[in-house]
């Protein structure tokens, strides 16, 4: 038995320990994992035939992952359970079965197995899948481009969870509250695997509304908050106070320094930002509210810079990623090294575009617009050319400024080739449940005809709303 599998099984020995307040116990999760494995094995699927996993409940999700390590088929986690997402996933990675604890509409050719049909098993749980073999894949929402499927091994995910627990100080006295769904890499790591390996507890429900988050912090005495920038922004206007918090994490997008400062002032807790991706796993952290912009790489991460591109080598990287001769994956992130073992994020390589024959950094434009007084956020993109016009820079700006004043401020920015030609204003940039930009919704707003009635459209929605029907 491998050392990692041994560590996982050792954690399962404490059967009476609660994984979540009011249940279930680790023992109940273990027996459910056996039941899931037995039910899927009876379906005559090979271990190479994937099963789509549409499970929101954190203990149930942990049981399913353990079942895969115990010999159940490979699972795929879709980023949402909307019918169109499941159809897209099946087209990209054909699957026959969906295992779910909720109501989902299966795509044609797929069969649904309800979790309640998986009767708990009383046999010992044996982990037979090697830690370096993929056991789960994540279907990303395409916040930075085309949706992708990234496979992960137990060494990737459980290894990172053990590292987080040890390095960031999460332990058996902690109770975690998460505002992000567990089918995304950040939520999966920090609200399912981390509490398991740290022997902590986690709230079963995913809180998304400000009042819901604050009530849970007060009632459940949560000590660790797992959240995203849009929720930290929303909490500024709520009755935020220290509660029982001692740690707070943020990921998916840069945290606004003002939001970080407000959270620190009201709670006494500095938010630790996590830098990474689904495919690379975690890479670095910072807890200064983005004031200096310096990131501290994980101690277990090896990194270098080639032509401003960040290159990483670690045990958390998906086996699907290409590597150079030395085993480094070359990311699309542009960075610069600063004093010591720190780096500063400069933007993405794919944010450098040519407009009118000149190189334009979209991230630089975004930061310049964000510095305009009265602007809270901005999203910058390039609209493709058509028959009547060339490619042009477009900006979706979160602001309460009158449109005329905003346009005047943007026109004053240096470099005519780097100024957005199409500008739309909203109260907040639309985001997905995992906190990343909802590019589909953004493009709809940018491409919609200008209308005074819709000019001030509100897009803040902290609920886990499904994707719009196609």
> In this structure, what are the phi and psi dihedrals at residue 57, rounded to the nearest 5 degrees?
-70, 130
pLDDT of residue 467: 29
Output the pLDDT for position 460: 36
376: pLDDT strictly greater than 80: yes
As a whole number of angstroms, the distance between CA 125 and CA 114 comes to 21
Element (H, E) at 440: helix 439-447
Mark out the alpha helices in 107-256 (DSSP H runs).
Answer: 154-168, 185-188, 194-197, 210-220, 229-235
Q: How far apart are CA 223 and CA 184, in angstroms?
A: 22
In eight-state DSSP terms, residue 18 is B
Task: Measure the CA–CA gap between 358 and 200, rounded to whole angstroms.
Answer: 53
Residue 47: predicted pLDDT:
55
Output the average pLDDT for the chain: 88
Instruction: Look at the block and give the residue holding tokens 């400069």.
Output: 346
User: Is the CB of residue 326 less than 8 Å from the CB of residue 319?
Assistant: no
**Is residue 29 pLDDT above 90, yes or no?**
yes
Banded model confidence at residue 343, pLDDT cuts 50, 70, 90? very high
In the chain, what are the domain boundaries?
1-146, 356-447
> Is the pLDDT reported for residue 389 higher than 80?
no
Instruction: Give mean pLDDT, residues 330-340.
Output: 90
User: Where residue 354 falls among pLDDT bands split at 50, 70, 90?
Assistant: low
- Is residue 461 very low, low, confident or very high in pLDDT (cuts 50, 70, 90)? very low
Q: Which residue has the higher pLDDT, 54 or 254?
A: 54
pLDDT at 456: 40
pLDDT at 397: 93
Where is pLDDT greater, at 436 or 269? Answer: 269
User: What tokens does 245 get?
Assistant: 């918090």
Could you please report the per-residue DSSP string of 177-188?
EE-S-TTSHHHH
Q: Please, where are the H alpha helices in 169-321?
A: 185-188, 194-197, 210-220, 229-235, 257-267
pLDDT band at 243 (very low <50, low <70, confident <90, very high): very high
In this prediction, residue 357 carries a pLDDT of: 57
pLDDT at 370: 87
State mean pLDDT over 72-78: 94
Q: Which residue has the tokens 């009530």?
A: 215
Query: What values do phi and psi take at 276, rounded to 5?
Result: 170, -165
Over residues 107-111, mean pLDDT: 93
Tokens at 324, concatenated: 């150079």
Going by DSSP bridges, is the β-strand pair 201-202/134-139 parallel, antiparallel, or unpaired?
unpaired
CATH label, 1-146, candidates 3.30.70.660, 3.30.450.20, 3.40.50.12780, 3.40.50.12240 = 3.40.50.12780
Q: Is the pLDDT of residue 143 over 50?
A: no
Q: What pLDDT digit, counting tens, does each position of 447-457 carry?
A: 887 655 444 43
First to last CA, the chain: 48
Per CATH, domain 356-447 is 3.30.300.30? yes
Q: Which of 33-47, 198-212, 240-254 has the least mean pLDDT? A: 33-47
Going by pLDDT thresholds of 50, 70 and 90, the confidence category of residue 298 is: very high
CA separation for the pair 130, 69 (Å, rounded): 8
Whole-number Å distance between alpha carbons of 365 and 326: 35
DSSP structure string for 68-130? HHTTPPPEEEES---HHHHHHHHHHS--SEEEESS---PPTT-EEEEGGGSPPP-SPP---S-
Angular region, 451: left φ>0, alpha ψ -120 to 50, beta rest: beta
Q: How confident is the model at residue 462 (pLDDT cuts 50, 70, 90)?
A: very low
Residue 304 pLDDT class (50, 70, 90 cuts) = very high
Backbone φ and ψ of 169, nearest 5°: 80, 40
The partner residues of 249 in beta bridges, in order of sequence, read 226, 272
Q: Which two tokens stand for residue 456?
A: 């001030």
């Amino acid at each position: 038995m491998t050392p990692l599998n041994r560590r996982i099984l050792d954690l399962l020995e404490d059967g009476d320990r609660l994984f979540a307040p009011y249940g279930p116990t680790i023992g109940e999760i273990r027996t459910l994992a056996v039941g899931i494995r037995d039910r899927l094995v009876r379906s005559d699927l090979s271990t190479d035939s994937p099963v789509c996993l549409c499970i929101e409940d954190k203990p149930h999700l942990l049981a399913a992952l353990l079942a895969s390590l115990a010999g159940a088929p490979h699972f795929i986690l879709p980023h949402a359970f909307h019918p169109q997402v499941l159809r897209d996933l099946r087209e990209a990675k054909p699957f026959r079965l969906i295992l779910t604890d909720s109501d989902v509409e299966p795509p044609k050719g797929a069969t649904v197995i309800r979790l309640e049909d998986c009767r708990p098993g009383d046999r010992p749980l044996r982990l037979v899948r090697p830690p370096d073999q993929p056991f789960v894949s994540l279907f990303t929402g395409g916040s930075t481009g085309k949706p992708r499927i990234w496979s992960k091994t137990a060494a990737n995910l459980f290894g990172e969870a053990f590292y987080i627990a040890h390095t960031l100080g999460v332990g058996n006295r902690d109770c975690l509250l998460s505002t992000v769904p567990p089918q995304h890499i950040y939520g999966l790591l920090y609200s399912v695997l981390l509490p398991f390996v740290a022997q902590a507890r986690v709230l079963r429900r995913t809180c998304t509304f400000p009042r819901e988050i604050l009530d849970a912090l007060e009632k459940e005495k949560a000590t660790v908050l797992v959240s995203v920038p849009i929720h930290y922004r929303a909490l500024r206007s709520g009755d935020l106070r220290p509660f029982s918090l001692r740690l707070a994490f943020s990921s998916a997008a840069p945290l606004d320094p003002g939001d970080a400062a407000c959270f620190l002032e009201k709670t006494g807790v500095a938010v630790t930002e996590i830098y990474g991706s689904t495919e690379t796993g975690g890479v670095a952290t910072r807890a200064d509210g983005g004031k200096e912009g310096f990131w501290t790489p994980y101690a277990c991460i090896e990194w270098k810079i080639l032509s401003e591109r960040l290159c990483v080598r670690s045990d958390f990287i998906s086996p699907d990623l290409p590597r150079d001769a030395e085993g480094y994956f070359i990311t699309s992130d542009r960075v610069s090294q600063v004093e010591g073992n720190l780096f500063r994020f400069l933007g993405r390589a794919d944010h450098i575009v040519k407009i009118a024959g000149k190189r334009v950094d979209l991230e630089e434009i975004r930061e310049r617009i964000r510095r305009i007084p009265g602007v809270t956020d901005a999203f910058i993109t390039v609209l493709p050319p058509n028959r009547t016009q060339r490619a042009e820079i477009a900006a979706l700006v979160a602001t309460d400024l009158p449109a005329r004043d905003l346009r005047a401020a943007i026109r004053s920015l240096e470099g005519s080739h780097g100024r957005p030609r199409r500008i739309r204003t909203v109260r907040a940039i639309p985001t997905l449940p995992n906190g990343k930009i909802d590019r589909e919704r953004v493009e709809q707003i940018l491409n919609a005809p200008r209308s005074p009635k819709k000019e001030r459209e509100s897009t803040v929605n902290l609920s886990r709303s499904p994707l719009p029907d196609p």
